[in-house]
Amino acid sequence: MVFTKEEVDYSLYLVTDSTMLPPGTTLCSQVEAGLKNGVTLVQIREKDIETKNFVAEALEVQKICKKYNVPLIINDRIDVAMAIDADGVHVGQDDMPIPMVRKLLGPSKILGWSVGKPSEVETLAKWGPDMVDYIGVGTLFPTSTKKNPKKSPMGPQGAIAILDALEEFKATWCRTVGIGGLHPDNIQRVLCQCVASNGKRSLDGISLVSDIMAAPDACAATKRLRGLLDATRYQFVECELNNTFPTTTSIQNVISQVSNNRPLVQHITNKVHQNFGANVTLALGSSPIMSEIESEVSELARIPNASLLLNTGSVAPIEMLKAAINAYNEVNRPITFDPVGYSATETRLCLNNTLLTYGQFACIKGNCSEILSLAKLNNHKMKGVDSSSGKTNIDTLVRATQIVAFQYRTVAVCTGEFDCVADGTFGGEYKLSSGTEGITAEDLPCVIIEDGPIPIMGDITASGCSLGSTIASFIGGLDSTGKLFDAVVGAVLLYKSAGKLASTRCQGSGSFHVELIDALYQLFHENKPEKWSASLKKF
Ligand SMILES: Cc1nc(C(=O)O)sc1CCOP(=O)(O)O
Ligand SMILES: C=C1C=NC(C(F)(F)F)=NC1=N
C-alpha cells in the first residue's frame, strides 16, 4: 500500500529501540501494543545491529504496520528501506545528504530529517517541497535513549525558534514532530507552548522511544499518550483560565476567596525577601512557609490552596527548584515565577532558562529589564538586578509582556511605573498543527495599571519580590471558579494602590516598609477595590 504524504498522521510517532525492552516483551509486542492504542507512525531505529537481523526485524514490524494501515519509516538505512519497500526513511544531519536519499527513494516515499537549529530549516526550505517531508525537532528535553547526544536540550523555546524558521523560510509543506525526553508530564506543555510566533503552526505530533518501548504495559502507556494528544485543553491550574476583563466586582470576589481559603504560599526566594514576603503574605490573610526542603515539597503542594512562589534570587540548589516545579505542576497547583536578574549574568540566564524549560507557570512576573530580556527585546545585558533606569516606552513594554505571555502560555506581569499584565493562557486550549490559528502575541488581552510614580518603592528591599508574594497569594486562594487573570490583575492593582497609599503616609524608607504592610492589610480586609487609587485600563 502506498501512503500519500498528505494523509500521514504525525500525531503519535513511535521510534523503536530493542535495547530497552522490559522482560516478557519483544520489539513486535511493544510495537503492536502501540499500534493498537493509537500510535500513528512507526520508525525502526537500531544503532548497532547486523543488517541481516535488521532486515528480518523490519519485515516483521512491516507486517504488523500493514495490519494497522500505519506507515513504516526506517532510520538511516536507506538500503534496508528500499529492500523491503518501506514507506519512508528518516536521516540525521550526519547521515546521507537529503538530495541523495530523495534520489534513491523516489518522489512518493516519506523522507524525514533531524533538525536542531534554524539554519537547517533554511537549508531544507531551499531544497523545496520535493525533498524533506517532515522534521524531528529536538532534542527537547534530556534523554538517555540517544547515546552521545551532540545537541543540548532546546526546550519548548528552542522548538518555537524552529517553527518560526519554517514560517520565515516559507517551508509550509514541512510537517514537524517534537522529540527527546517526551513523557506525560511534559507533553501538554510542549503542545501548548510550541507555537510559531505568527500563530500559524504548532507541532504536528510528538515522537518518542522509551515512554512506550520501555513500558512494562505499553498498552496503558500508549493510551495515556493518546489521551493527552486528543485532549484540547491543558488545565495546569485548578482555577478558571478563560479570560474576561477584570472588574472591581470580580476582584472583590478574588479577595473574598483568598480570605476564605487562606492559601499556603510556599516561598522559595532570596534571603532579603524572606521576612518581608512572609509579612506581606500574612497581611493578605494567607499563610507563608519559607521552605527549601526538597523532601517536603510534594507534601506542601498537596495542602489545599497551596501556591508556590519561585523567586530565582534564591540560592536553593537547582535540583530542589526542579523538584518544587514538578511537585506543584503534578497536582495542578499554581507557580508564580520571578526570574530575578534574568539575564544579568550567564549563571542567572542559564538557571532561569533551565527552569523556564522545566515547568508550566501560572504567572511570570518581572521588572522591565527582565521581561524585555525574556521577550528578547533587550539585546544588551541588564544592569545589575534592579529594573533598568532607562525609560522604555509603554508600547514596547506591552509588547514584551504579551510576547512572554504568549511564548510561555502564562499570565505575564511587567512591573514599573506602569504595570502591564497580559494573558497568554488561551484558556489552556491547544491544537496540533494549526497553532493558535493566527492569533499572535499582540492580540493578547493586556491591561495597564498605573497610579503615578512611587519613587520610594525602589528605596526599600524586596518591593518587587513582594508583589510576587501578593500574586501567589491571590492565585493560590482562588476557588475552582476563580479566574487566573482576575487574581493576577487584582494583586497588581492592590499592590500599586497600597504602595501609593503608604508613600503618602510614610516619613522615609523605614516607615514606608511598615506603612506598605499596613496599607496592604487595610485595603485587603476592607475589600473595596472601587476605592483603590490605582487605575486599570485595557490596552
Ligand atoms: C531518536 C532520538 N532523536 C533525538 C533527537 O534529538 O534528534 S532524541 C531521540 C531519543 C528520544 O528518546 P526518548 O523518547 O526515550 O527520550
Ligand atoms: C534522530 C531522530 C530525530 N527525530 C526523529 C523523528 F522524530 F522521528 F523525526 N527520529 C530520529 N531518529
**pLDDT tens-digit readout, 67-108:** 999 999 999 999 999 999 999 999 999 999 999 999 999 999
Give the ligand whose atoms come closest to the C-alpha of residue 213: 1
Q: How confident is the model at residue 259 (pLDDT cuts 50, 70, 90)?
A: very high
What are 146-156's pLDDT values in tens digits?
A: 987 778 899 99
Q: Compute CA 411 distance to the chain's CA centroid, rounded to the nearest angstrom.
A: 12
Instruction: List the beta strands (DSSP E) in 332-440.
Output: 335-338, 363-367, 411-415, 418-423
Alpha carbons 212 and 33: distance in angstroms, whole number: 9
Give, using CA atoms, the residue closest to atom 16 of ligand 1.
181
CA dist 129 and 445 (Å) reads 37
* Dist. CA 482 → ligand 2 center (Å): 42
CA–CA gap between residue 369 and residue 364 (Å, rounded):
13
Q: What is the pLDDT of residue 364?
A: 98
Over the stretch 393-407, which tens digit does the pLDDT of each residue have?
Answer: 899 999 999 999 999
Separation of CA 140 and ligand 1 centre (Å): 8
465 is catalytic: yes
Residue 275 has pLDDT above 90, yes or no: yes
Hey, what's the cell of 147?
547515546
| CB crowding 396-425: b at 16 or more within 10 Å, else e | ebbbbbbbbbbbbbbbbbbbbbbbbbbbbb
pLDDT computed for residue 5 by the predictor:
87
Radius of gyration of the chain (CA): 25
Tell me, what amino acid is at 479? D
Rounded-to-integer distance, Cα 433 and Cα 440, Å: 15
Per-residue pLDDT band for 274 (boundaries 50, 70, 90) equals: very high
Pocket of ligand 2 (CB under 6 A): 13, 15, 43, 45, 75, 90, 92, 112, 114, 136, 138, 177, 179, 207
Neighbour-count burial of 537, counting CB atoms closer than 10 A to its CB (0-12 exposed, 13-18 middle, 19+ buried): exposed
Q: Is the pLDDT of residue 168 over 50?
A: yes
Beta-carbon contacts of 164 under 8 Å, excluding residues fewer than 6 positions away, are 118, 196, 197, 198
Cα of 253 vs centre of ligand 1, distance in Å, is: 47
- Give nearest CA residue, ligand 2 atom 9: 136
60-70 average pLDDT score: 98
Structural contact between residues 449 and 526, judged by C-beta atoms closer than 8 angstroms: no
Spacing of C-alpha 273 from chain mean position? 26
- The predicted pLDDT at position 378 comes to 78
Among 239, 363, 420, 465, the active-site one is 465
Give the position, in ligand 2's atom list, of the atom nearest the Cα of 179: 7
Strand pairing category for 446-450 and 535-538: antiparallel
- Ligand 1, atom 8, residue with closest C-alpha: 180
Section 20-47 average pLDDT: 97
97: phi then psi, degrees, rounded to nearest 5: -55, 140
Measured in degrees and rounded to the nearest 5, phi and psi for residue 71 equal: -65, 150
Test site for ligand 2: of 114, 117, 139, 140, most ligand atoms within 8 A of the Cβ: 114
Phi, psi (degrees; rounded to nearest 5) at 220: -65, -40
Q: Residue 186 C-alpha to ligand 1 middle, in angstroms?
A: 14
Sheet strands (E) in 293-359: 306-311, 335-338
pLDDT for the residue numbered 6: 86
Q: Determine phi and psi for 57, rounding to 5 degrees.
A: -65, -45
> Taking CB atoms and a 6 Å cutoff, what residues make up the pocket around ligand 1?
15, 114, 136, 138-139, 143, 145-146, 151, 179-182, 208-211
Stretch among 2-6, 339-343, 407-411 having the lowest mean pLDDT: 2-6
Three-state SS for 293?
coil
Residue 286 CA neighbour count, 13 Å, CB half:
36
The closest ligand to the CA of 113 turns out to be 2
Ligand nearest to the CA of 19: 1
Percent of the chain with pLDDT over 70: 97
What pLDDT is attached to residue 205?
98
Exposed, middle or buried by CB within 10 Å (0-12, 13-18, 19+), for 230? exposed
Look at residue 427 and tell me whether its pLDDT is greater than 90: yes
Residue nearest to atom 4 of ligand 2 (CA): 136
Of all ligands present, the nearest one to the C-alpha of 20 is 1
Report how far ligand 1's centroid is from the alpha carbon of 137 (Å). Answer: 10
Percent of the chain topping pLDDT 90: 89
| Confidence label for 391 from pLDDT (cuts 50, 70 and 90) | low
Q: What is the mean pLDDT of residues 513-536?
A: 97
CA of residue 162 to ligand 1 center, whole Å: 17
* Residue 184 near residue 137 (C-beta atoms within 8 A): no
Q: Is the pLDDT of residue 9 over 80?
A: yes
Q: What is the pLDDT of residues 466-502, one digit of tens each?
A: 999 999 999 999 999 999 999 999 999 999 999 999 9
- From 46, 134, 146, 206, the mutation candidate for ligand 1 (largest count of ligand atoms within 8 A of CB) is 146
The CA 443 to ligand 2 mean position distance, Å, reads 34
- For 90-114, give the secondary structure using H, E and C: EECCCCCCHHHHHHHHCCCCEEEEE
Among the atoms of ligand 2, which is closest to the Cα of residue 113?
9
Q: What pLDDT sits at residue 1?
A: 56
Q: Please state, in angstroms and rounded to a whole number, the distance separating the CA atoms of residues 161 and 330.
A: 27
Distance CA 329, CA 332 (A): 5
What's the confidence (pLDDT) of residue 385?
Answer: 46
Q: What pTM, to 2 d.p., does this model score?
A: 0.94
Check whether the bond before 347 is cis (ω within 30° of 0): no
Kindly state the average pLDDT of the residues 289-311.
96
**119 C-alpha to center of ligand 1: Å?**
20
Task: Give the Å distances, CA to CA, from 25 to 31, 161, 313, 445, 484.
Answer: 10, 39, 48, 51, 45
**The three grid cell numbers given for residue 488, joined into one nine-digit string:** 493576577
What is the CA 161 to chain-centroid distance, rounded? 14
State the pLDDT at residue 498. 98
From ligand 2's centre to the CA of 86, what distance in Å? 16
Pairing status of strand 264-268 against strand 446-450? unpaired
- State the ligand closest to the CA atom of 178: 2
Closest atom of ligand 2 to 75 CA is 12
**Given a cut of 60, is residue 322 above it in pLDDT?**
yes
Average pLDDT over residues 190-215: 98
| pLDDT band per the 50, 70, 90 thresholds, residue 243 | confident
In this structure, is the dihedral angle defined by the CA atoms of residues 485, 486, 487 and 489, taken in order, positive or negative? positive
Please write the tens of the pLDDT for every residue from 99-125. Answer: 999 999 999 999 999 999 999 999 999
Would you put residue 428 in left (φ > 0), alpha (ψ -120 to 50) or beta?
Answer: left
Query: Which residue has its alpha carbon closest to ligand 1 atom 11?
Result: 180
| Pocket test residue of 15, 143, 208 for ligand 1, highest count of atoms within 8 A of CB | 143
Q: Among 176, 209, 222, which residue has the most ligand 1 atoms within 8 Å of its CB, making it the best to mutate?
A: 209
> Residue 256: is it exposed, middle or buried by C-beta count within 10 angstroms (0-12/13-18/19+)?
middle
CA-wise closest residue to 135 among 213, 82, 205: 205
Instruction: Take atom 5 of ligand 2 and give the residue whose Cα is closest.
Output: 136
